[in-house]
Amino acid sequence: MRSVAERAGVSVATVSRAVNHLPTVNRKTARRIWQAISDLNYSPNKHARALVNGGSGLLGLIVPKSPDPFILELIHSFEEAAFGFGYGVLISSVGSDPEQISHAIRRMVDRNAEGLAAMIFDGPSTIMEELDRRSIPYVCIDREGRHPRGCLLQIDYFHGIRQGVQHLAILGHRRIGFASNHTQLFSTQSAVASFTKALSECGMDAQPSWIVLNQNSQKPETQDPETQDPNDRAIERLLAGKFPPTAVICSSASSAIQVMSAAARVEMKVPEDLSVIAFGDHLPAVHLPLTSILISPSEVARAAVDAIRNHGEAGTSPSRRVTIRPRLVLRSSTGFPRGSMKDLQPHVDQSW
């Protein structure tokens, strides 16, 4: 910086003003300074800057250690949004061990992150307390409770599930089931509650035997695909039973895959014999192609960055909760139930 000052024949203070675009700099001087800057390929030292005016220009992003492409897109969108406001992104991916999460938070706080986004769906509730203790704006996803310094991003599961149920109802389905193999991407109880509520809205009752929940929830990465999962058997029994559902809503893409392979084993075709909707959109869903209820990663990412930015801003009193609405994307795993309007085909969304 000093060399820039010398080269432009001014003092470092003026250089600082020019760099920060303060209006109190003479046009000609400014031009000389910028010339010197580019000549010397100078760029200001962020650390010195951070030291003097507090902020580091860094945002922390904590994501679950999970093979879900949703996370990948979230990372990308977050970084993009953060960069748009001049922030850098410090990343950390964690398992569900509370201590690990706590460490990750501490590392980011230690690096003077100006905000933290904890995009972990299934982590322990202690995160929030941890975050509240530190004085740093933060945003959490898919959590309950009231929190002084944080903003909550809530997924409107009901909205999403309802879209799925209504789509099926309109197609003519009256026997709709629900399957979940793990609680990874959202709390299963919330989804089930939404499911029964949406069902009753459409004048249907949830049949308990059509709701297949896996108790021994396993993470996909530790799940051996060759092993016969007990959940698989349960689904197979349900479909092979004498009064099977004609459609199933699944809590995740991997759950949907389970259902579809169970269907294949009992000689049911999708969507002719069984319509399947997945909540969430892992890569396989695009290829299968699976009708899904999606949470937009970029929407989540932008909301997160916005929430962090709004936190500190004087004058604004931002709502401490932001609701994200999943949307239904029609692909070709849903159709009319057997026997009704065979020749009609539902509209398939080509825009995705």
Partner DNA sequence: GTGAAAGCGCTAACAC
Partner DNA sequence: GTGTTAGCGCTTTCAC
Q: For a second copy, which residue of 31, 76, 269, 327 counts as binding (CB under 8 A)?
A: 76
3-state class (DSSP) for residue 134: coil
Q: Tell me which of DNA, a second copy, none is bound by residue 312, counting a contact when its beta carbon lies within the kind-specific cut-off of 5 to 8 angstroms.
A: none
Q: Which stretch binds a second copy (CB under 8 A): 11-19, 108-116, 152-160, 322-330?
A: 108-116
Structure letter (DSSP) for residue 336? P
Give the residue with the Cβ less far from a second copy, 72 or 234.
Answer: 72
Sequence-separated (6 or more) residues with CB below 8 Å from residue 176: 165, 168, 169, 199, 204, 210, 245, 246, 247, 248, 249
Q: Tell me which of a second copy, DNA, none is bound by residue 19, counting a contact when its beta carbon lies within the kind-specific cut-off of 5 to 8 angstroms.
A: DNA
9: contact with DNA by CB under 7 A: yes
- Residue 60 tokens, joined: 């922390």
Nearest Cα residue to 285 out of 77, 70, 121: 70
6 by Cβ neighbours in 10 Å (0-12 / 13-18 / 19+) ranks as middle
Tell me how far, at minimum, the Cβ of 121 lies from DNA, in Å: 35
Q: Tell me which of a second copy, DNA, none is bound by residue 13, counting a contact when its beta carbon lies within the kind-specific cut-off of 5 to 8 angstroms.
A: DNA
For the chain, the straight-line distance linking the first and the last C-alpha, in angstroms and rounded, comes to 49
3-state class (DSSP) for residue 250: strand
Helix H or strand E segment including 48: helix 46-53
- Is it true that the peptide bond before 98 is cis, omega within 30 degrees of 0? no
Q: Tell me which of DNA, a second copy, none is bound by residue 314, counting a contact when its beta carbon lies within the kind-specific cut-off of 5 to 8 angstroms.
A: none
Residue 36 CA neighbour count, 13 Å, CB half: 23
Q: Which stretch binds DNA (CB under 7 A): 46-54, 133-141, 277-285, 290-298?
A: 46-54
Q: For a second copy, which residue of 98, 172, 289, 318 counts as binding (CB under 8 A)?
A: 289
Q: Tell me which of DNA, a second copy, none is bound by residue 53, counting a contact when its beta carbon lies within the kind-specific cut-off of 5 to 8 angstroms.
A: DNA
Q: For DNA, which residue of 35, 51, 76, 319 counts as binding (CB under 7 A)?
A: 51
Q: For DNA, which residue of 52, 215, 222, 225 counts as binding (CB under 7 A)?
A: 52
Query: What is 330-352 written as a DSSP string?
Result: --SS--PPTTSSTT---------
163: contact with a second copy by CB under 8 A: no
Q: Which stretch binds DNA (CB under 7 A): 27-35, 142-150, 227-235, 319-327?
A: 27-35
Q: For a second copy, which residue of 37, 71, 131, 141 counts as binding (CB under 8 A)?
A: 71
Q: Tell me which of DNA, a second copy, none is bound by residue 231, counting a contact when its beta carbon lies within the kind-specific cut-off of 5 to 8 angstroms.
A: none
**Identity of residue 211:** I
Residue 199 CA neighbour count, 13 Å, CB half: 22
Q: For a second copy, which residue of 4, 8, 37, 92 counts as binding (CB under 8 A)?
A: 92
Tell me how far, at minimum, the Cβ of 19 lies from a second copy, in Å: 12
The alpha carbon of 136 is separated from its chain's Cα centroid by a whole number of angstroms, namely: 21
Q: How far apart are CA 182 and CA 186, in angstroms?
A: 9
| Residues near DNA (CB under 7 A) | 1-2, 9-14, 16-17, 19-20, 24-26, 28-30, 42, 44-45, 48-49, 51-53
